[in-house]
Structure 1
Amino acid sequence: MGGSSRGPDSDVARSVNPGRNRRWWARTAFAAAVSAAVVPIVAAGLLSTLVLLATGIGGVAVMVAALYWFLTHRGVPRWIWLGVAVLVPIAVLSAFVSANLLWVVLVSYALVLLAALCARIALEEERAESEMDERPVPPPRHPFLVMNPHSGGGKVVRFGLQRKAEELGAEVALLEGPGTVDVEALARDAVRRGADLLGVAGGDGTQALVAGVAAEHDLPFLVISAGTRNHFALDLGLDRDDPAAGLDALRDGVEVRVDLGEIDGRTFVNNASFGVYAEVVQSPAYREDKTGTVLRMLPDLLGGSAGARLTARTGGLTVEGPQAVLVSNGPYQTSDLAGLGRRARLDRGVLGVVTVAVEGARQAVGLLNRAHERGMTQHTALEVTVDADAPEIPVGVDGESLLLATPVRCTVRPGALRVRLPRNRPGVPPFKVAVDWVRLRALAGWSHRPV
């Protein structure tokens, strides 16, 4: 008989006693975590382990402090601190090698990674909480797509997006100029002519403009990852290396509803940034010399002698004088500063808010483990107001540099946008869930807490 070799037994085998499987994953996670602590003690002794730990933590702290001083100084001191930041990790590594302890560090680190991996597998049932609800939909009859042939180094031409879209029945408008093209006007005209789907192959700024029109008319919106970074596409699970795959949604698609951010009446799909980054990007010299402009402006911006002094207000919280404020369409999936950049889902109906205020090297080091609450705050809100001691402030909105009158108000429109996605999305990011060790202990069967 023909057909697939997969039978019902394979499904049964895969799901036999999932509770027991999760229990063993949880126990393995604890075993790996304990081993990570025990290996250095057995191999080097308690005193050497404490010295090892202090050396590693101290080295990281000194390196971060040196980098902060590099950014806040000019001239010779700046380069001295850069040298310190480079030499400290080399010195720590050399100390481990000379004491024959490098292998201990590597083994412990591998065990920590194993513990985290096993813990996340044990907590796999939390995956459902990170998946947006989707429903199958019929193909559109009159899709209209805006394509920017200059975005992403020419992805529209390189991947033949215009030809492939037209073969699928879409009308395509190329942003070729001359001059600036009013993208919103193009989209509105298409709606008047009967378009039942709007889409964009371009950067996030262009995506946001057309998405706002689609949400206004409750039309589905198609994202084609033809820009440079395409964070919106990434968080929707699209493959940024194969933008043509997004066109599959025109013939075999599903639909999800996602939120939209709004800043003073302008739609954003990713984030609005205030403070240091926005000030630097606003500089006329930035396009010609990005690195030089950043290094030249940072000492004054971080020291508070340049740029507007900001005040961020959300709910009952007020943050005075942050050097950076990031308001995102949905909170980023992170518990520390290094993890910023991904959103687990885009339909939570809230804005993510991150503020950073670093007044010295001590607070810069504290950002590593959130030791200073004043240094960095992360929370969610329905509305954020950013005020300043200036009538206008620069704001980066989905990669576009704007000047907006203060106070600037950011809000969220829950479920405002219908996004059309291909059924098969090979770029769906691997699931990440924060490790809850209390829940993990219950899964391992070592507490009476219900699972």
Structure 2
Amino acid sequence: MADLRTRWMARLAFLAAAAPIVLLLTVAGLRDSLTLLLTAAAGMAAMLAGAYWFLSHRGFARWLGAVVVLAAPVTVAWLYARQNLIWVVVALAALWAAMVACGRNALARVKHQPVREVPPPHRPFLIMNPRSGGGKVVRFELEKRARELGADVALLTDTPVADLARQALRDGADLLGVAGGDGTQALVAAIAAEAGVPFLVLSAGTRNHFALDLGLDRTDPATGLAALTDGVELRVDLGRAGDRVFVNNVSFGAYAEVVRRPEYRDDKARTTLDVLPDLISGHRGPHLRLRIGDRVVDGPQAVLVSNNPYGTDDVAGLGRRHGLDGGVLGVLAVRGLQLVRSTVTEVTVEADQPEIPVGIDGESVLLPTPVRCTISAGALRVRVPRHRPVPPPELDWVRLRHLALGRA
């Protein structure tokens, strides 16, 4: 059974969710409340249309879209101000924040990924990329600190990372770790999973998405070294796209084409804005077809397949995964203004070309078509520090309802 505090936090989340409806009906009445909601919905629709226009056009048309994106919320706020209802908007925002805080507080008390007690490794082997993250390996003295804890360390130079990992296993390593980007981590994670040895992540890359979802401290990668002496073990899933493993996601279409451009590394924003209009209009890139079970999505401009789905409580849907042990893939596909979202165990991407560019954990590769993406549940043993930040749970209203009713 849920404890008393958890029950009341769940109940407060439902009260905070219902309060905006009561507030609107009390202040504005039924007819005016519907008008206010329709005004907000129209403003949101205009913003989305303006954003799409901005991304899919160049020159004057692009900046016209930017004006719409900026003008829509200003216009909605002005209409609310004319009716002296700005305070209602502020109150609604406060109630929304209270709902999220109470709901997450209740779920955080009951939802934890199970960990396993394990002894420290005898011969840990860490691969470090001194160029990743603007030189975090050097800045945080990761090589020195790891060696002081008894780890063998190899700095990544011209030797392929997979060769370093396999040689370490032949030499008796009982843990493989990486201080580098997500793409490097995926390569070593695949080898660790195949050998059945634990894997360690140091957040020394630029974005460190995998480290974020493991609950690691991304501001100080050295804290991850605590897993060598006082660590616990998680079982997490691995995604597969053809014969390649990914720890975060694999992308097709627009993003994969953008990452493929040589100038992307030096100027990401400008390259993206320059390439997107042709990709969205279908004038560049392969014609894709997405198969999700019995469903077919023809001609999506962008497809993202992730190792476990991204949280639905994130507006962009791409910020954080609230678990890496669900045994499912998350699928996001964009076709015009249509957003397709699904959770499956297998998805296939077909194309009108024999091979297509694919972004695997941010690295551009070419894969033969069709590309079949699957999930390997619990395939990877990950060693993490015993004490680490806990990511906020996703708002799960079914779970909250059970907790509010006092059920486990």
Q: TM-score range by the shorter chain?
A: over 0.9
8 A contact 2:300–2:333 mirrored in 1: yes
2:396 aligned residue:
434
2:138 aligned residue:
157
Could you tell me which amino acid in structure 1 is paired with residue 115 of structure 2? E
8 A contact 1:156–1:226 mirrored in 2: yes
Matched, 1:168 2:145: no
**Secondary structure, aligned partner of 1:356:** strand
8 A contact 2:251–2:304 mirrored in 1: yes
8 A contact 1:275–1:310 mirrored in 2: yes
Q: What is the distance in 2 between the residues matched to 1:262 and 1:344?
A: 20
Q: What is the distance in 1 between the residues matched to 2:44 and 2:301?
A: 23
2:247 aligned residue:
269
89-98 vs 104-113, which deviates more? 89-98
Could you tell me which amino acid in structure 2 is paired with residue 376 of structure 1? V
1:90 aligned residue:
74
Give the Å deviation of 1:73: 2.1
2:317 aligned residue:
339
Q: What is the distance in 2 between the residues matched to 1:95 and 1:314?
A: 43
Q: What is the distance in 2 between the residues matched to 1:258 and 1:31?
A: 35
Q: What is the distance in 1 between the residues matched to 2:15 and 2:292?
A: 43
Give the Å deviation of 1:146: 0.5
Say which of 223, 228, 247 aligns to 1:245.
Answer: 223
Give the Å deviation of 1:122: 4.8
1:390 aligned residue:
353
Distance 1:414 1:108, change over 3 A: closer
1:108 aligned residue:
92
Q: What is the distance in 1 between the residues matched to 2:297 and 2:94?
A: 39
CA deviations on 1:230-258 (whole Å, 9 max, x unpaired) are 11111111111111111111111111222
Could you tell me which amino acid in structure 1 is paired with residue 77 of structure 2? L
Structure 2: gaps of 5 or more residues: none
Q: What is the distance in 2 between the residues matched to 1:43 and 1:317?
A: 45
Structure 1: gaps of 5 or more residues: 1-16, 359-363, 368-374
8 A contact 2:292–2:347 mirrored in 1: yes
Aligned residues, how many?
408
**Secondary structure, aligned partner of 2:316:** helix
Give the Å deviation of 1:385: 2.0
8 A contact 2:256–2:358 mirrored in 1: yes
Could you tell me which amino acid in structure 2 is paired with residue 419 of structure 1? V
Q: What is the distance in 2 between the residues matched to 1:314 and 1:308?
A: 19
Give the Å deviation of 1:52: 2.3
1:74-223 equivalence runs, <5 A: 74-122=58-106, 127-128=110-111, 131-175=112-156, 177=157, 180-223=158-201
RMSD: 2.4
Larger Rg: 1
Give the Å deviation of 1:409: 2.2
Q: What is the distance in 1 between the residues matched to 2:218 and 2:145?
A: 17
Could you tell me which amino acid in structure 1 is paired with residue 342 of structure 2? Q
Distance 1:222 1:436, change over 3 A: same
1:395-410 equivalence runs, <5 A: 395-410=358-373
Say which of 4, 21, 34 aligns to 2:18.
Answer: 34
8 A contact 2:322–2:392 mirrored in 1: no
**If the length of structure 2 is used for normalisation, what is the TM-score?**
0.92
8 A contact 2:136–2:204 mirrored in 1: yes
Give the Å deviation of 1:186: 0.7
8 A contact 1:312–1:387 mirrored in 2: yes
Say which of 329, 354, 361 aligns to 2:307.
Answer: 329
Q: Among the aligned pairs, what percent are the same residue?
A: 57
Distance 1:392 1:35, change over 3 A: same
1:243-322 equivalence runs, <5 A: 243-322=221-300
8 A contact 1:239–1:428 mirrored in 2: no
Q: What is the distance in 1 between the residues matched to 2:315 and 2:18?
A: 27
2:404 aligned residue:
443
Distance 1:405 1:337, change over 3 A: farther
**Secondary structure, aligned partner of 1:105:** helix
Q: What is the distance in 2 between the residues matched to 1:332 and 1:203?
A: 20
Q: What is the distance in 1 between the residues matched to 2:181 and 2:113?
A: 23
Q: What is the distance in 2 between the residues matched to 1:251 and 1:336?
A: 35
Q: What is the distance in 2 between the residues matched to 1:256 and 1:416?
A: 10
**Secondary structure, aligned partner of 1:339:** coil
Distance 1:50 1:413, change over 3 A: closer
Give the Å deviation of 1:339: 2.5
Q: What is the distance in 2 between the residues matched to 1:258 and 1:34?
A: 36
Matched, 1:379 2:363: no
Distance 1:333 1:19, change over 3 A: same
**Secondary structure, aligned partner of 1:76:** helix
8 A contact 2:103–2:400 mirrored in 1: no
8 A contact 1:331–1:380 mirrored in 2: no
